[in-house]
Structure 1
Amino acid sequence: MRILFVCNEYPPNQYGGIGSFTKLIAEYLALNNFSVFVVGYADVKERKTEIINNVTILWIPRPVYGKSKFLNILKQLISRFIFYKIIRKEIKQREIQIIESYDYGGPLIFKPKNVKLVVRLHGSHTANNYFMNRRGSLLLRLLEKCAIKNADNIVGVSEHIVRLTKEAFKLEFQYERIYNGVDLELFSEIGIERDLNRLLLVGRMHPYKGFDRLFRCLNFLFALNKEVNLEVICTIVPEYKEFLMSLVDRNYHSRINFVGRVDNNELVQFYNKASLLVLPSVTEALAIIPLESMACGTPVIMTNGFTAPEIITDNIDGVLVDTADAIGFASRINDTLKFLKLSNKMRVNAKRKVKTKFEIGDIILQNMSFYKRVLND
């Protein structure tokens, strides 16, 4: 089978959840005798093709936008048309059978001919803004809606994101739900000693990720627990870091360590060293970070909403909490840290949950079966 993924954040370029997922599934499909191609924007000066782990990638120079709102709108439309022409050429040259794109930003708003188009719902701008009662970009709404409506088949990474997408765009469609998965050969317990007072925050500095919610609770948490400390793994945005630290009493600053971004091999070390991962996101389609952490035996305390109940059973393999309640959030973190010092039960349950529900081998088999059905329809 010959499949092409659209991905504008494919590693090693700057990437998020979509990039991580696409790389993981692309490389596993390549190992299973799929011919796999990726086309996407990157920080390059000219188009170039390279092969990484048996995946053929076409990098395209990323569009540059200016200050003029009108010109930026025009450029977004023109760039998508040019992108579509590149995709169409790749389909013909590579004899592509399936092309997979996604909802976020609507990268592919025209439907290529003679190929099956799959759109995976990772969480669009429109759906996330709808969930948070925010007014989003009308242009992005149009682009994302076009991207979804053009699909021959739709996959949702969670039941939550499917429901939310239908509501936000006022659409009805058939879909298949296939969760994101985690590589248990990479993310696992490695036998190093844990710091039972360490919290870990992993993600990116974006309003959706709710970093401010955690930092607002730290004054209460640090007052409750004199030993707890926080380690932050993310690409550091100096202005946002300064804002976050302004929310915390200066006397507590020494208990917060911003590490920066690390690769996955290092990340495994940080997951294993911590006692508890905190995920205060305001919205997520299906975050991979908590799955990675749970696979390493590090339970997660996360916002009780969006997809959280699809990942965690409260007080069994993790903790669900109202992260907008700073005092209550601090209290639940403190109670969970105390419990984890007394029992490994939650750690065992967290690992079991990932193995039975989110193991990448099983997820790849689900995707392979799905792609075969798509071709046979």
Structure 2
Amino acid sequence: MKVLHIVPLVSDDSAFGGPVRGTARQSQALTEKGHECQILGLWRGAGDTPDEVLGVPATLYKFKRLPGHRFATALSLAPLRWIARNRKSVDVVHVHAGRDLWILLSMLLMRTLKIKYVWQTHGMLAPRNRLVYKLYDLVLTTPALRGASQLLYLTDYERRDLESVGREWGLVHVVNGVENIGELADSLSLPSSNEFRLAFISRIHPRKRLIDLVKAVEKVNEQGGNVYLDIYGPDEGALAEVTEEINNRSLVSHVSYKGALKYSEVRSTLREYHTMVLPSVNEPFPNIVLESLASGVPVILTKSCGLAPYIEDYKAGIVVEPGVDGLTRGIIEMMKNPREREHLRRAGLKLAEDKFTMSGVATELANIYGGVAG
């Protein structure tokens, strides 16, 4: 089967790291099962436009930012022309996006051309109450939803979101997956001193609540801890505020911003830390948590994360209330109990193996594609 995956943006700073990396992994696993996959999207970065994403053939067009509405930040007609020219060369299209303007236009085009497509929103289609959003959804989002043969959701919360914006049929639960589970998990390159090292790897966005984590590090150290936090990720509008907070609290020796990671650097970077912390709220199904589980790195995350029920069920990490106090408690608990940390590490590997293998996800996707393509 020939499958086209559409993503909003591929960039050299991994701005859409989770969905893009997940898409490439799905493509790799599907290819191993005999299917033919390629990726279509926009490219933002230095140098020539790449012709592959993590080894998957890709057709990418230059990204140009537009002023105005947050969803209409990019518009390119080139991918739409590509879809029209190549419509007979694909059996099904898998769209990975939210309300991105050019993506919605591409789905409306596919609906008109009777190209079969499934839509995986990755938790990015929450209902909006402002009038401008409602008009946007009425004109673009709702027609695109109606044209999708199947809608793939990650959590029950996301399913309710999809139902609330007008789609109650053809909903299929599909989780994200991760490959190479346990590979090099025992070769963690941790410091031999009494430092306790935390990593945050995600977009630097207000929803990530990174300032809460900075304040929690300060509180733990005030209570006698020796915690160091390294922050990785592209700036999505919150880096200046986070940097100011670090400076105002005189934490520059304990909290550092390390820039964005390439997709290929995530695993090796994770293995340098005792724990990965994700303080964000309402995070649908973060790939960085799956990466951590598969790498044998324990996690701390909030109860509002879509992966929290899995973590609690397997006792594979520490789940806390959102906010400074909850994060502080979680860090202290993780830091003071190395034996429990080892238990969490092994439970995380088992959780990844039981629930989130990419091979299992690829098998499920192939069955969905087959049903859609008829």
- With the shorter chain as reference, the TM-score category is 0.7 to 0.9
**Aligned partner of residue 175 in structure 2, secondary structure:** coil
Aligned to 2:180: 184
Q: Distance in 2 between matches of 1:188 and 1:103?
A: 32
Q: Which amino acid aligns with 1:104?
A: G
Aligned to 1:286: 285
The 1-side partners of 2:160 and 2:133 are apart by: 20
- Secondary structure of 2:93's counterpart equals strand
Residue in structure 2 matched with residue 233 of structure 1 by the alignment? 232
- Which range is displaced more, 334-343 or 300-309? 334-343
Compared CA separation, residues 260 and 135, structure 1 to 2 (3 A): farther
1:145 corresponds to which residue?
142
The alignment's C-alpha RMSD in Å is: 3.3
1:9 is paired with a residue of what secondary structure? strand
When the two structures are superposed, what TM-score results if normalisation uses the length of structure 2?
0.84
Please state how far the C-alpha of 1:278 moved relative to its aligned partner. 0.6
Partner residue in 1 for 2:37? 36
- Indicate the percent of aligned positions where both proteins have the same amino acid: 19
- Give aligned pairs, total: 362
Q: Please report how far the alpha carbon of residue 216 of structure 1 lies from its aligned counterpart in structure 2 after TM superposition.
A: 3.0
**Whole-angstrom distance in 2 between the partners of 1:135 and 1:351:** 45
After superposition, the C-alpha distances for 1:262-301 in whole angstroms (9 at most, x for unaligned) are: 2345322332221111111122221100111111111111
TM-score, with length taken from structure 1:
0.84
Shift of the 139–81 alpha-carbon distance from structure 1 to 2, 3 Å rule, reads: farther
Q: Which residue of 1 aligns with 2:98?
A: 104
Segments of 5+ residues of structure 2 without an aligned counterpart are none
Provide, for residues 305-347 of structure 1, a one-character-per-residue CA deviation record: whole Å limited to 9, x for no partner. Answer: 14133431168111111122x2232122211221235551111
- Contact 1:280–1:303 (8 Å) recurs in 2: yes
2:366 to 359, 368, 372: 368
Counterpart residue identity of residue 192, structure 1: L
Distance 2:334 2:185 in 1: 20
Q: Amino acid of the residue matched to residue 152 of structure 1? A: S
Gaps of 5+ in 1: none
C-alpha deviation, 1:259, in angstroms: 1.6
> What are the within-5 Å matches in structure 2 for residues 309-324 of structure 1?
309-313=308-312, 316-324=315-323
State the one-letter code of the partner of 1:245. Answer: T
Counterparts of 2:50 and 2:243, CA distance in 1? 42
| CA distance in structure 2 between the aligned counterparts of 1:275 and 1:98, rounded to whole angstroms | 42
1:98 shift after superposition: 0.4
Distance 2:229 2:50 in 1: 41
Which residue number in structure 2 is paired with residue 89 of structure 1?
Answer: 85
Using the TM superposition, name which of 156-165 and 361-370 deviates more. 156-165
User: RCO greater where, 1 or 2, for CA within 8 Å and sep 6 or more?
Assistant: 2
Between 1:76-85 and 1:239-248, the stretch displaced more is 76-85
SS of aligned partner of 2:271 = helix
